[in-house]
Each structure stands twice: as C-alpha cells, then as structure tokens.
C-alpha cells in the first residue's frame, strides 16, 4: 500500500480535473463564434474568459465582474488606438497601470491576463467585419470580450465553491504605486516600438513576457526571468522536435492541447518550479498556433519574443538597482527596493 502511494504521489487527480476544466471550459462557447462569422473575435473572448475566471476563482465573483468590464472596455478602446503609436502606448500604459495597482492587494499575478489581452488586441487588432468601420469592429470586440468575461465569471464562481485558497499577501501602498508606474511605463514604451515596427503577434508576446516577468519584488522578477528563459529553451526544443517529426496538423494540435493541459496541471502545484510550467506551456502554444506547416516558424518567433522580453525585464532590474543604490540606504529603502529593482 505504501509502495502504491509512493508510485502515485506525483499525480493529483483533483489538479488533473481542474486543469482540464481550466483549459477546455473557457473554449466551449468560443466554438460558436466561427460558424457565426466571428472567428476574429475568438481571441478577445478567450482572454476575457480566462481573466475573469481566474479572478472569480482566486478573489470574489463580484470583483471578477469588474475585471470582465475593464477587459471589455480596454479591448474596445484598443481597436481605434492601435492605428497610432501614441494611442496604443497610452491605452497599454493605462491598462498596465490599473493592473500594477492591484499589487497592493497581492492579486496582480491573478490579473495578468487582463493587460495581456489588451496587448494582443493592440498589436494585432482583430478585424471581425471586413470593410466594417473601426467603431463597429471595436464594438464587436468589446462585446465579445465582455461575453467571454461573463462566461468566465460564471465558471469561476462554480469552481470557487470547491476551492479553499489562502488570502493573497499584498505590498505596501508606496511599493504598489512604484510598481504600477514602472510596469505602465515599460509596457507603454514596448508597445510603442511594437506598433512602430509592426511586430504584430510577436510584438504582443514581447509585452506578454514583460508583464509576466516584472514583479513588485526584485528577487521574484530575477528568478522568474531565469526560469522563463530556461523553460522557453526547453519548450523550444520540444516543439522543434515535434514540428520536424510530426507533419499532420490534427495530431500537432492534439499534442499541443495535451501539453497545455499538462502545463496548467503543473502550475496548480505550487511546489513545482516556474520553468517546468513554461517548458510545457511553450510547446503547447506553439503547436496549437502553428499546427500544419507553421510550427517551426512559430517556435522561432516565440523564442525570439521571449528573449527580447526577458532582456527588457533584465534592463529594468539593472536600472532599478542603480537608482536604488544611488538613492542611499535610509529607513524605508528596503520597501522601495523591492519594486524599483
């Protein structure tokens, strides 16, 4: 009996079921968008669903409703703003600023999908109606993101009843504000370059990497950056091997979805290092997006975007370290260092 327990100690059935639910349930209504001629709105729907679902599970459904509304509002504003470098950077900066302030309550990591959804809409605005006006496309994208958000709140509220999670630990107000300003400025500047250089989807991944890596705490940022690079390199190798060996798009897509599920399963276990999650997540996304003849190209693009985003995060760490060192070590400097670095 003890041997059997040891053999299966690595497997958590509850986490496995949760991973399947978290990956596939948000997608179910999105399957209806393609037959309705709204294929381009699938992305905003899924981002809205994921952002609000995580908020509902890890905070409260009432707060998740606010998240759904904000995601819809920012995605609506992103469509007309995407045509201008200044407009795109302002919208991205505001979204990142709102996200950063939530560090005060310690829930910024829960809400990462919200600013990330705005980054993808800005970098590669979905054209739902060919020949339609900008306002019409913005309205459809905003409404679709809102519907996805409401679906996520519903699913998250149901899942929350079965979960017992500890209350998140926030940071001092001064640290939260400093972090919010830093992430807003860096995200806005990065988005300005993405729009100016027309980097589109790859550019959105750079912003995604920046948002994922830069955290209120210096050590967390540094650790996540190292883990992100390691996991991405491992995932890159896995995706490359599969892309060179497997040539059937349905099989590649199936393997990709399986890897995404495993990634979420790993993420649910807080004892596992971050690089393991990234090592499964990277090939899962690459295979799901590039199934067919684009796996290798997509793999190379994701590697490049991640390394660029990581380089930006490291630059922020270095600049922050210099600024904190120059400011001297007085009372309260430790509080600032946790963010500015």
DSSP per-residue codes, 153-208: HHHHHHHHTT---PPP----HHHHHHHHHHHHHHHHHHHHHHHHTT-HHHHHHHHH
pLDDT category of residue 167 using cuts at 50, 70 and 90: low
Q: Which percentage of the chain shows pLDDT scores above 70?
A: 89
- pTM tops 0.75: yes
129 and 65 in a common domain: yes
6 and 150 in a common domain: yes
pLDDT category of residue 332 using cuts at 50, 70 and 90: very low
More confident residue, 31 or 335: 31
Residue 163 has pLDDT above 90, yes or no: no
pLDDT category of residue 336 using cuts at 50, 70 and 90: very low
Q: Domain of 68?
A: 1-171
Residues 96-120, mean pLDDT to the nearest whole number:
92
The answer to whether the CB of 288 falls within 8 A of the CB of 255 is no
Annotate 15-54 with DSSP letters as a single string. Answer: HHHHHHHHHHGGGTGGGGTTTTT-GGGHHHHHHHHHHHHH
Domain boundary among 137, 171, 205: 171
Polymer length in residues for the chain? 341
pLDDT of residue 131: 78
For residues 124, 129, 131 and 133, what is the CA-based torsion angle, rounded to 10 degrees? -80
| C-alpha radius of gyration, the chain, whole number | 20
pLDDT category of residue 5 using cuts at 50, 70 and 90: very low
Residues 286-314, mean pLDDT to the nearest whole number:
90
Question: How far is it, in rounded angstroms, from Cα 157 to Cα 52?
Answer: 10
pLDDT of residue 162: 59
The answer to whether the CB of 221 falls within 8 A of the CB of 215 is yes
Question: How far is it, in rounded angstroms, from Cα 307 to Cα 290?
Answer: 19
141 and 289 in a common domain: no
167 and 33 in a common domain: yes
The tokens describing 250, both together, are 């349905």
pLDDT of residue 274: 92
9 and 95 in a common domain: yes
pLDDT category of residue 330 using cuts at 50, 70 and 90: very low
Does residue 275 lie within any of the structural domains? yes
Distance of CA 331 to the CA centre of its chain: 35
Does residue 67 lie within any of the structural domains? yes
Domain boundary among 150, 171, 192: 171
223 and 152 in a common domain: no
Q: What is the number of domains present in the chain? A: 2
Distance of CA 4 to the CA centre of its chain: 37
pLDDT of residue 99: 96
Residues 313-317, mean pLDDT to the nearest whole number:
92
More confident residue, 223 or 338: 223
Phi and psi torsions of 217, nearest 5°: -100, 130
280 and 136 in a common domain: no
- Which pLDDT tens digit goes with each residue over 223-253? 999 999 999 999 999 999 998 998 888 898 8
152 and 258 in a common domain: no
Largest Cα span, the chain: 66
Residue 323 has pLDDT above 90, yes or no: no
Residues 288-297, mean pLDDT to the nearest whole number:
83
- Between the ranges 57-61, 120-124, 262-266, where is the mean pLDDT highest? 120-124
316 and 259 in a common domain: yes
Best CA proximity match to 263, nearest among 22, 7, 56, 9: 22
43 and 113 in a common domain: yes
pLDDT of residue 183: 96
Crossing angle (nearest 10°) for helices 333-340 and 295-326: 160
Residue 196 has pLDDT above 60, yes or no: yes
pLDDT of residue 10: 58
pLDDT of residue 324: 67
The answer to whether the CB of 268 falls within 8 A of the CB of 19 is yes
Average model confidence (pLDDT) across the chain: 87
The tokens describing 36, both together, are 């309705």
269 and 136 in a common domain: no
pLDDT category of residue 26 using cuts at 50, 70 and 90: confident
Mark 294-316 as b/e (b = at least 16 C-beta within 10 Å).
Answer: ebeebbbbbbebbbbbbebbbeb
Q: Dihedral sign, CA of 36, 41, 45, 46?
A: positive
């Amino acid at each position: 009996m003890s041997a059997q327990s040891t053999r299966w100690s690595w497997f958590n059935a509850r986490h496995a079921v949760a991973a399947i639910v978290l990956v596939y349930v948000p997608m179910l209504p999105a399957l209806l968008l393609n037959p309705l001629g709204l294929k381009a709105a699938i992305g905003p729907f899924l981002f809205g669903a994921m952002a609000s679902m995580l908020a509902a599970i890890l905070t409260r459904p009432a707060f998740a409703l606010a998240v759904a509304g904000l995601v819809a509002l920012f995605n609506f504003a992103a469509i007309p703003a995407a045509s201008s470098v200044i407009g795109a950077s302002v919208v991205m900066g505001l979204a990142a600023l709102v996200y950063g302030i939530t560090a005060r309550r310690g829930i910024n990591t829960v809400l990462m999908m919200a600013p990330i959804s705005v980054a993808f809409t800005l970098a590669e605005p979905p054209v739902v109606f060919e020949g339609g006006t900008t306002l019409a496309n913005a309205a459809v994208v905003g409404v679709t993101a809102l519907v996805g958000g409401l679906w996520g709140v519903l699913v998250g509220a149901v899942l929350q009843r079965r979960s017992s999670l500890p209350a998140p630990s926030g940071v001092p107000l001064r640290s939260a504000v400093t972090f919010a300003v830093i992430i807003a400025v860096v995200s806005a500047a990065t988005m300005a370059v993405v729009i100016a250089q027309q980097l589109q989807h790859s550019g959105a991944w750079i912003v995604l990497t920046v948002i994922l890596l830069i955290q209120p705490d210096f050590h967390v940022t540094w650790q996540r950056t190292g883990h992100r690079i390691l996991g991405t390199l491992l995932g890159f190798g896995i995706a490359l091997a599969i892309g060179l060996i497997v040539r059937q798009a349905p099989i590649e897509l199936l393997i990709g979805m399986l890897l995404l599920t495993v990634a979420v399963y790993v993420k649910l276990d807080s004892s596992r290092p971050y690089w393991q999650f990234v090592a499964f997540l990277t090939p899962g996304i690459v295979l799901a997006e590039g199934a067919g003849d684009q796996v290798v190209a997509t793999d190379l693009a994701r590697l490049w975007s991640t390394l660029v985003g990581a380089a930006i995060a490291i630059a922020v760490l270095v600049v922050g370290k210099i600024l904190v060192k120059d400011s001297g070590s007085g009372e309260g400097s430790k509080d600032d260092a946790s963010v500015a670095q």
